[in-house]
Each structure stands twice: as C-alpha cells, then as structure tokens.
Structure 1
C-alpha cells in the first residue's frame, strides 16, 4: 500500500516550483532553506521519484515534477475555494453548480437542459466550455459537479465516470426566408437546391445527419461546417445556407425576423447526457435535473 501524501510537504514543493528555487521559497515561507529542502526530499521519497533536477545555477522540474505540479495546482486551487464554498453553504447564500459544457453541444439546448436547476433561487451557476477530454479530467478531479455532452463518457480505465441520459430532441431545418423563397419545393427536396451548413464530424449528430441525407437521396452543396452550433446558426441566419437545429431551439430561433422553418426530420435525434463522477448523486440541483428528466421520459 502506498504511503499517504503529506500535504505540508506537497505545499512546500508547490511553493518551490512557483518561486523557481529553494532560497526564494524559503524566504516566502519564512523558513530555513535546509528545512524546505528536507521537506521536498521527504515528498520525493514518498513518491519514489525526483521532482527537481539541476538547471544551470538553479533547479527545474523533472517530468515527474511537472505532473506533480499540475496536480498540486489543482489541489491548492480547490483549497482556496473551500472557505467561500463552506461560507455559502452555512449561510444559505447560494448553491453552487459547476457545469462543464462539451464544445459541440448546442448552446440553446444547454439552457433547456439546465432550466430545472435555474428554478431554484439559491443557484449560483458556473458554466465552463471545453473539449470533452478536458472536461472529464476536471470532473474526475472534482473541479466540476457534472458535464453535459451529446455523447456518453468514453470508456477509460483511469476515470470512474457515470453517464445519465438527460433527454433527446429531433432536428429541424431552418433557412432565411430570402434563401427559402428562391428555392421553392417540398421539404426535404428543397435542400438539394440550396447551400447547407452542417456540424463538423466531431459533433455526434453529424453521422446521423449524413445518413439521413443519404436515405433521402440528397447531395446538397455544403457551404460550411461548424463545431459550435451557435456559430452555425449565426451564419445560417446571415444567409449563408440552410441549417439543422434542435427542436428545443425552435422558440429562440423563431424570434429571428425572416427565419423560416423548412421542415422536421424526426428520425434524426440528438441525445444529451449528464456525466458525473459519482454513481449515487448527492448534489441537490443535479438530483433535480435527473428527476425532471425521468419524469419527462415517463
């Protein structure tokens, strides 16, 4: 069994790495250089690897030290957040929900998915957008409460993650009225006559859209591909081409003057997942999201 980490030793290592040397770290800590050096050596003995190497007249992190520093940064950043989080919980000033949003997820859908949590007056929402790999790493380190994605968490023996089905929505096609008026005809055949915008292959629904176009014998001219759905819709509204969007986005899209619904393709469905680092959900707002999802599916 590995020896437990002494977090005081880890803190001294972290300060040395931040300050770039033993002497500057000792000055910041108000300690003797020999004491700081001894604490760092104790940490190295616990981990079984050297964390620093000589570099000119100073020291630099080894490969093992770089990894240790990355983890130490996350640990002490969380520590800095602890007093505020405890104070808010104790005084009832807020209920923080940190959500990671996969960068391919339609932004208009995110608000729909999070709406049940927003109805709680105590909520203090923190939304961070990134690629799914970065978000899942932050989730595993408990820097996020949950991750929202258009696909379930990929299998990873190093991460214990749980995917919960949060909902699904069919797609519909939209186009500016000026573009739709120049290419009259029944849907979906009219798509063959106009430029279209599509999500990139990184977005889960792209493969299902390609299959639907193939089944419909449609080979439209693809004028653009976008990973960000909000950007895709913005270029579509500007007149660049017809574009697909979730039916959950319909009300917001119809607020745009001159935008027309071309038609629906109910057999092309976007799936949405809530990914957690715990099987048994404890956060009350996350429990609320899942309960509303289950009630809607019943």
Structure 2
C-alpha cells in the first residue's frame, strides 16, 4: 500500500470542516477543481468514497467519518508539534492543557496538578467546561488530560482511559455566626440551617441525598451551584452551611468566619485523570500519575 499523502488528507479535512468544496477552496486560496482533485485522489488511495451528496451540498460517508476522526487527531497533533518546538526553542518550557470538570473543587484541582508544576517553566492552560464537552475536546487532542469527579463512560469510539488519582471524604462547614446559633449537634443541626449544595451534575450529589435520607434530614436548600468555588464563596459569605472536600479543610478554616460543623467519612469524592489513547504520551501528564499517590 502506498504511503498516505498528507496534502490530500489536509484538503479532505478542510472540506469536511468547511462543509463544502467551494468554501474549502476559498479558505485554501486555490481553485475548486484543485480541491476536488485532491480529495478524489485520497478516495482512490483509500478505496472508499469519503463524501456523498446531501441536498445541495455534501456530507461525510461512514468511511469519511472514520477518516475525519483520524485526520482531526493528526492535525491537532501537528499544531501541538509546532507549539512544542517553538516553546523548546525559545525556552518557554512545556505546555500542559488540562480540562477541568466544572463540578471539581478548585482547591482540589490545585492539589492534583501540583506534581506537574515543579518546573517553573511549565505553561499551564486550564479550561473549565461541562464533562461531556471536555471529553470531546480530549478525544480530538485539544486537551492533554481532563480532571473530573467521575470516570469516563465506556465509548469504543473515543478510547479514553480513566486513572483514579485519589479520594477524599466530605466535611460540612458553616458561617461562624450561623453555627453558633445551632441548638443541636451535627448532623441534626443541618435541619435547622439553610444548606447549599452542588447541582445534580456533580457526582457527589446523589451521595449527599442518600446521606440525608439515612439520617432522616430534610434540610432547607437555600442554593445550588454548578461551580464548587462559587458554592464555597456563598457559604463563607453567610448564605448557609455547605459541604466541601477534606482536602480543602485547611484552606477554608483559615477564614475565621468559617467553622467546621462535622465530618462525613461515609460520603467520599473520587478524583480522576482522563487521558486519550495516543502514541506520544505527554511527560507532564505522566507526572500526574505516580504510583501510590496519596493526598498531601
């Protein structure tokens, strides 16, 4: 089999991205006939049609969709290669692009990323988004890794790998003035206080609700937050009692206006690093996965 012609692949990739031959030709600043000929040669070399008519335009065939997955990976890696060479040549150090699931506690994120940040030349790019969208960006190699509170779901098309980084029990905190008014001990006091919770998108939310049921609690929910840092900020400002990871305990208690209500060792948050299958393993991602790692 003849080696793949990457110019042909690039023209195919641009056509698929632009949604048509004419728009691809405009982007590439070449004639439409040139684009069409390049794509046709790629189809001949692969032995399958990559596009089919769709109304007045074209769309990918199943073979074209499969080719597009690999083309995306190839050209994303190509962009990373250029950036890596430039950074190495200019002494800028390595770049690490990490997706942060929006429900993950920010202080926990800092802890999890610390092993990769020992070299002061590391350039860290953190992108926070919804879990599913981050997995899509990871599959396309726009991200080097994703940090989340859950493992990636099984999907043979994405080929993602979940690495368990650790776990931490939750504890409950409250504004000091609010905690001082509580007449009952923990956890019964939560029935007397306004409570702040993560929204249902957080993996720990069902565990919290089950814990309430086990203890016969029906708290008054004063607020629900997708962002864990925002949840803690509103709790610290006096809005209500709130749960947070034990890994953030020391940082939260630096605030004299916050008091620890009690610990819940039976409610555990899990933390994962999700990586994509690829030939080149990012050395900084590997630093996040030392054997036997435990919270510091």
Length-normalised TM-score, structure 1: 0.82
Instruction: Give the aligned partner of residue 203 of structure 2.
Output: 204
Instruction: Give the aligned partner of residue 186 of structure 2.
Output: 187
Instruction: Give the aligned partner of residue 292 of structure 2.
Output: 294
Provide the rounded CA distance (Å) in 2 between the counterparts of 1:142 and 1:181: 50
Provide the rounded CA distance (Å) in 2 between the counterparts of 1:15 and 1:165: 37
Instruction: Give the aligned partner of residue 218 of structure 1.
Output: 217
Provide the rounded CA distance (Å) in 2 between the counterparts of 1:142 and 1:218: 45
Q: Is the 8 A contact 2:92 2:122 kept in 1?
A: no
Instruction: Give the aligned partner of residue 87 of structure 2.
Output: 88
Q: Return closer, same or farther for 1:26/1:219 CA change in 2, 3 Å cut-off.
A: closer
Q: Is the 8 A contact 1:146 1:275 kept in 2?
A: yes
**CA deviation digits over 1:31-61, x for unaligned, max 9?**
4443333223334554514256574xxxx44
Q: Is the 8 A contact 2:96 2:284 kept in 1?
A: yes
Gaps of 5+ in 1: none
Q: Give 1:142 deviation, angstroms.
A: 2.4
Provide the rounded CA distance (Å) in 2 between the counterparts of 1:281 and 1:11: 21
Gaps of 5+ in 2: none
Instruction: Give the aligned partner of residue 99 of structure 1.
Output: 98
Instruction: Give the aligned partner of residue 233 of structure 1.
Output: 232
Q: Give 1:172 deviation, angstroms.
A: 0.8
- Residue aligned with 1:166, SS: strand
Q: Is the 8 A contact 2:11 2:39 kept in 1?
A: yes
Indicate the RMSD between aligned Cα atoms, in angstroms: 3.3
Provide the rounded CA distance (Å) in 2 between the counterparts of 1:282 and 1:84: 16
Stretch moving more, 78-87 or 233-242: 78-87
Q: Give 1:158 deviation, angstroms.
A: 1.6
Instruction: Give the aligned partner of residue 48 of structure 1.
Output: 49
Instruction: State the number of aligned residues.
Output: 291
Q: Is the 8 A contact 2:72 2:140 kept in 1?
A: no
Provide the rounded CA distance (Å) in 2 between the counterparts of 1:268 and 1:236: 19
Provide the rounded CA distance (Å) in 2 between the counterparts of 1:296 and 1:186: 31
Q: Give 1:245 deviation, angstroms.
A: 0.4
Length-normalised TM-score, structure 2: 0.83
Provide the rounded CA distance (Å) in 1 between the counterparts of 2:139 and 2:85: 21
Provide the rounded CA distance (Å) in 2 between the counterparts of 1:194 and 1:25: 60
Q: Is the 8 A contact 2:76 2:140 kept in 1?
A: no
Provide the rounded CA distance (Å) in 2 between the counterparts of 1:167 and 1:52: 50
